[in-house]
Structure 1
Amino acid sequence: MAEKRKSGSVRKASSCPVTTYARAVVSGRIVAGRLVKLACERHLADLKSGGKRGLVWDGAAARHAIDFFGHLRHSTGEWAGEPFVLQDWQQFVVGSLYGWKRKNGLRRFRTAYVEVARKNGKSVLLAGTALYALIADAEPGAHVYSAATTRDQARIVFGEAERMVAASSALQSRITRTVNNLAVLPTSSWFRPLSADASKMDGLNIHFAAVDEVHEHPGPEIIQKLNTATGARRQPLIFEITTAGYDRHSVCRQHHEFSVKALEGTVPMESSDSWFAYIATIDEGDDWTDEKVWVKANPSLGVTVKLDDLKRQIDEAREMPAQQNAIRRLRLNEWTEQVTRWLDMSVWEEGGLPAATDWRIVKHELEELEGKLLGRECYGGLDLARVNDLSAFVLVFPPTLDDVLGALADKWIVTCRFWIPEDDIVRRVRRDRVPYDVWRDQGFLTATPGNATDFAFVEKEILDLAGRYDLRELSYDRTFAGEIVQHLQDEGLNLVQFGQGFLSMAAPTAELERLSVSRSLWHGGHPVLRWNASNVAVRHDPAGNIKPDKERSTERIDGIVAICNALGRALARDVNAGRSVYETRGILML
């Protein structure tokens, strides 16, 4: 939404509004939440080092897109007839999308996920950006769509664009308006609303798609169809804007979680470099009734978001608990009924090589340490998923006083292995935006032939590791173990069924959390394990015990569950030996 420019205000021609906003947020001059700060830090970091990854900042292109909005006019409300002037946070979004490019000159970002509270001007921002894609993006035959679950919802953004065209003589001279269609005839380009009828979404050739209120999508089908329809374009863009939702299994929640990981740097840049994220919400621990934090979720506060109105609604919700979830979700952009992520990834990162470390260095460090562990006592943890999903095996090595390990002698050391079906990788990479193929090529997980995990590969790897180390026990969850348990027992391994309820899992889960919080963890930078750790949500029982919860976790957590299985037996070993596990501080994870 635009803000009326104050009389006498001057915009320096040489300034970059994107970078200016980023610096103001990072310095604290503009109050913003943690995730917006991460988005700004990402921009500033890429200005310094993005060139190494083939990224180029084109300030003129960013300015061109931002200035385009000055040709638009508001059609309704108090600004009707006024030029559309982007606010600073909107300039950051638009400028980032069009200013960042690859070294080949094409745009960097292919998906944009923007999440802000209601009344912050989401729909009009989408409509203006869609019009830019239609007439100012130098794309012949640009096919632009406003996509939603229903035709009425799709027409919200499209209708706003129609009114913008009707209010601008400059746009009217270039755009032909017919029913549900805005066309630029000389370039064979058009802008149309598109609803959820999947049968009508086949055969599209999308240059730009505006997706409003993603949290209302009942499933991923619409966005999947949009993404697959961009393959023939040079630089397509799917622009998603939404308010927070409440369904943790929705496509919106998936995109929210991926956006958070992209901002935190916990997914490889190969996957996140083409994904733009801007999430404005109050922070964990903020008092939602405190007026000072509201601007974090409402960057348009004082302009399109009226403080008095917001205060009235929050005051009412404070007195009427039944309204709190709705108000906190819609006006403060909080996910309601969300499960708080268990492990603090900033703490996790302190215990290992940074996520940006070259994978070859990470691989070398892990292999070198495994060599130093040959012949040592260890405990295994196995977590087998359904036949077409990720499976994990870990070895937990109790502390020793061996000088060969140096500073690691008093640590717990964990090595890990992962498997996934080869035939399923491409589909899962596209669906989940998880770089299984990259991890496979780098050697961080094994892809077994076929469309189901071949447990013969798992057996062989476990037996090989058992031959290299002194494997005392191997704990497993019986749910998907099946024949592999019998085969391993026949080979002489000591297997122990490990329950997944609170009785068995509470102690190792609490211990793993304690070790993380106390900065005694070292994971070595293993990317699959890092991804698992970032996904974990926990369930609480009435006594306050916790355990990993696969159902509530957003993605796979198999490596962490396997660690808990193995750590549980290692803890029992310490108790049986008359030692307290709290005397053996530190756990090193590979």
Structure 2
Amino acid sequence: MFDENKAKRVIQFINQLKHTKGVWHGVPFDLLPWQEQIISDIFGTVKKDGYRKYNTAYVEIPKKNGKSEIAAAIALYLTCGDGEWGAEVYGCAADKQLDVAVEMVEQCPALKKRIKPVMSRKRLVYLPTASFYQVLSAEAYTKHGLNVHGVIFDELHAQPNRQLYDVMTKGSGDARKQPLFFLITTAGNDRNSICYEVHKKAEDILKGKKNDSTFYPVIYGIDEGDDWSDENSWYKANPSLGHTIDIDKVRASFISAKENPAEENLFRQLRLNQWVKQSVRWMPADVWNKCNFEVNAESLIGRECYAGLDLSSSIDITAFVLIFPPRTEEERYIVLPYFWIPEENMHLRVRRDHVPYNVWEKQGFIKTTEGNVIHYGFIEKFIEDLGDKYNIKEIAFDRWNATQMAQNLEDLGFTVVPFGQGFKFMAPPTKRLMELTLEKKIAHGGNPVLAWMMDNIHVRTDPAGNIKPDKERSTEKIDGAVAMIMALDRAIRNEGSGGSVYDGRGILVL
């Protein structure tokens, strides 16, 4: 059954609130048609006893369509307007959701005089009914025993595992007549996640493959056969496009995505709400090959440069890459890579991996070290000799694999810098390398080993849209590419006055 009065009550409550961000700050929250439809369906559809029919709502929609605002508005209604005494409403792992709710309260005099913020507990207390809205962290083991009236999961796809979801939704609302679990998210990239599990259930219900009368599914996005470059598809996926989303910004994102497979994945995921792979082949070979500008190693003698060292394992390829920063706006970043492989297992690897290490060794692009494991002492002496030719300012190394060699290089007088392999460290220079390659501001001399490794790179994307090389999913070796990215980071961080472009701009967060 549909109770129009119940639906109107929620709509009227939300329309009294105001937006909190950017140019929309202070503007009344007049629900858009798609938002009003969802609110009406969830709160107006009731059972014979008058209580809500739906206790779980799953809304999947691209970014910038106002997810956090609608989630905060629903949280405030469940806390203050749902007629539930002692209502416990929880926002899961989403501090920004509380910030939005607090700002909404600040802009609404009727709520402000009835709500007491307890910020030490990340809680808003509604005094007339002793109800509260509180944001929880991801430590699921502390959440047992809650008497839940409402749960808001904003960006369910960002949940690291299913623990918090299970604790908050399995039995926690049994003592309430009409608990609501409101799940709102953008599509993710992990098909082994709780979010994808719920997504598939929602999809199956929408297609008529499954039936659950308590579950309300909404998915905005493009279908598999849709043309992702067609603006009509963008409007199909984004019901707020033209309202809270500027079409020119979407066009700009699309232009960038056309040139970069990693950004295409992000565009499809975040702008068009498609579930994409966590890892995607990153650097198109033709793009990399266009930077095959001549590199004369002898002309670089005495120049300042920065190095990246990737040891991998003792039986595998070791890579050491020098990056020479441009001295003028007309110059390019120059790449000088070196590779080593154990001599005794090289021919076995050629037969097994079908990679022409022996040809590259004859051509001088790979060096061998005596024995069946990498001779680190030989490499250290080689780097020491390079230090006599080039002014190596810093050597960046993977802190987990090269500790002893780093110490030895430091004893030789080099400045060595530990370099984390997570998104925090790898994302900015990885993104910058693609930009420089597209701008033809890199000169790599056509080194075939490095070109092979660049073609092997798959990148992993985190929930915020940051990328980094993914060694696990890259089908072949990428050690030289990783070493180059580390070297590029140190070169960029030390350009000019010594400040970093990342220090001011920071890591990309969407």
Higher Rg of the two aligned structures: 2
How many equivalent pairs are there?
276
Q: Which 5+ residue runs of structure 2 have no aligned equivalent?
A: 279-510
1:224 match: 166
Decide which of 187, 191, 198 is 1:248's aligned counterpart.
Answer: 191
Instruction: Provide, for residues 169-210 of structure 1, a one-character-per-residue CA deviation record: whole Å limited to 9, x for no partner.
Output: 111121112211111123110011011112320111110011
2:316 match: none
1:325 match: 265
Distance 1:322 1:173 in 2: 48
Q: Which secondary structure state, in structure 2, belongs to the residue aligned with residue 57 of structure 1?
A: coil
1:311 match: 251
User: Is 1:79 the equivalent of 2:24?
Assistant: yes
Distance 2:18 2:259 in 1: 40
2:126 match: 184
Q: Note the C-alpha offset of 1:336.
A: 0.3
Decide which of 85, 90, 96 is 1:140's aligned counterpart.
Answer: 85
Distance 2:249 2:162 in 1: 34
1:167 match: 107
2:233 match: 293
Q: Note the C-alpha offset of 1:158.
A: 1.1
Letter in 1 for 2:24: W
Decide which of 136, 139, 142 is 1:194's aligned counterpart.
Answer: 136
Q: Note the C-alpha offset of 1:218.
A: 2.1
Q: Note the C-alpha offset of 1:155.
A: 1.1
Q: Note the C-alpha offset of 1:297.
A: 1.3
Letter in 2 for 1:245: G
1:239 match: 182
Q: Note the C-alpha offset of 1:168.
A: 1.1
Greater helix share, structure number: 1
Instruction: Provide, for residues 227-259 of structure 1, a one-character-per-residue CA deviation record: whole Å limited to 9, x for no partner.
Output: 121111110001000000111111110100000
Decide which of 185, 200, 207 is 2:149's aligned counterpart.
Answer: 207
Instruction: Provide, for residues 55-80 of structure 1, a one-character-per-residue CA deviation record: whole Å limited to 9, x for no partner.
Output: x1111111111111121122331122
Q: Note the C-alpha offset of 1:293.
A: 1.0
Distance 2:110 2:142 in 1: 33
User: Is 1:275 the equivalent of 2:215?
Assistant: yes
2:202 match: 259
1:410 match: none
Letter in 2 for 1:95: S
Instruction: Provide, for residues 399-436 of structure 1, a one-character-per-residue CA deviation record: whole Å limited to 9, x for no partner.
Output: xxxxxxxxxxxxxxxxxxxxxxxxxxxxxxxxxxxxxx
Letter in 1 for 2:103: R
User: Is 1:115 the equivalent of 2:49?
Assistant: no
Distance 1:296 1:251 in 2: 26
Question: Where do residues 166-565 of structure 1 align in structure 2 (5 Å cutoff)?
Answer: 166-179=106-119, 180-227=122-169, 228-267=171-210, 269=211, 272-337=212-277
Q: Which secondary structure state, in structure 2, belongs to the residue aligned with residue 101 of structure 1?
A: coil
Distance 1:81 1:214 in 2: 28
Distance 1:75 1:292 in 2: 29
Q: Which secondary structure state, in structure 1, belongs to the residue aligned with residue 46 of structure 2?
A: strand
User: Is 1:60 the equivalent of 2:5?
Assistant: yes
Distance 2:207 2:185 in 1: 20
Letter in 1 for 2:98: F
1:90 match: 35
Q: Note the C-alpha offset of 1:318.
A: 0.7
Q: Note the C-alpha offset of 1:144.
A: 0.7
Q: Note the C-alpha offset of 1:93.
A: 0.8
User: Is 1:126 the equivalent of 2:71?
Assistant: yes
Letter in 1 for 2:244: T
Distance 2:193 2:154 in 1: 15
Q: Note the C-alpha offset of 1:337.
A: 2.5
Q: Note the C-alpha offset of 1:286.
A: 0.8
Q: Which secondary structure state, in structure 2, belongs to the residue aligned with residue 107 of structure 1?
A: coil
Distance 1:185 1:202 in 2: 25
Distance 1:292 1:199 in 2: 45
Q: Note the C-alpha offset of 1:323.
A: 1.3
Distance 1:104 1:68 in 2: 23
Distance 1:286 1:314 in 2: 15
Q: Note the C-alpha offset of 1:291.
A: 0.8
Letter in 2 for 1:324: E
2:50 match: 105
Q: Which secondary structure state, in structure 2, belongs to the residue aligned with residue 255 of structure 1?
A: helix
Distance 2:156 2:104 in 1: 23
Q: Note the C-alpha offset of 1:320.
A: 1.7
Instruction: Provide, for residues 98-140 of structure 1, a one-character-per-residue CA deviation record: whole Å limited to 9, x for no partner.
Output: 0000001110001010000010000000000000001110111
Q: Which 5+ residue runs of structure 1 have no aligned equivalent?
A: 1-55, 149-153, 339-590
1:463 match: none
Distance 2:87 2:104 in 1: 19
Instruction: Provide, for residues 351-398 of structure 1, a one-character-per-residue CA deviation record: whole Å limited to 9, x for no partner.
Output: xxxxxxxxxxxxxxxxxxxxxxxxxxxxxxxxxxxxxxxxxxxxxxxx
RMSD: 1.4
TM-score norm. by structure 2 comes to 0.53
Distance 1:337 1:167 in 2: 41
Letter in 1 for 2:179: P
Distance 1:199 1:220 in 2: 12
Q: Which secondary structure state, in structure 2, belongs to the residue aligned with residue 295 of structure 1?
A: helix
Q: Note the C-alpha offset of 1:281.
A: 0.4
Distance 2:237 2:61 in 1: 6
Instruction: Provide, for residues 140-180 of structure 1, a one-character-per-residue CA deviation record: whole Å limited to 9, x for no partner.
Output: 110011112xxxxx211111000000111111121112211
Distance 2:243 2:17 in 1: 18
**Matched residues, percent identical?**
41
Letter in 2 for 1:87: L
Distance 1:74 1:324 in 2: 31
Distance 1:147 1:80 in 2: 24
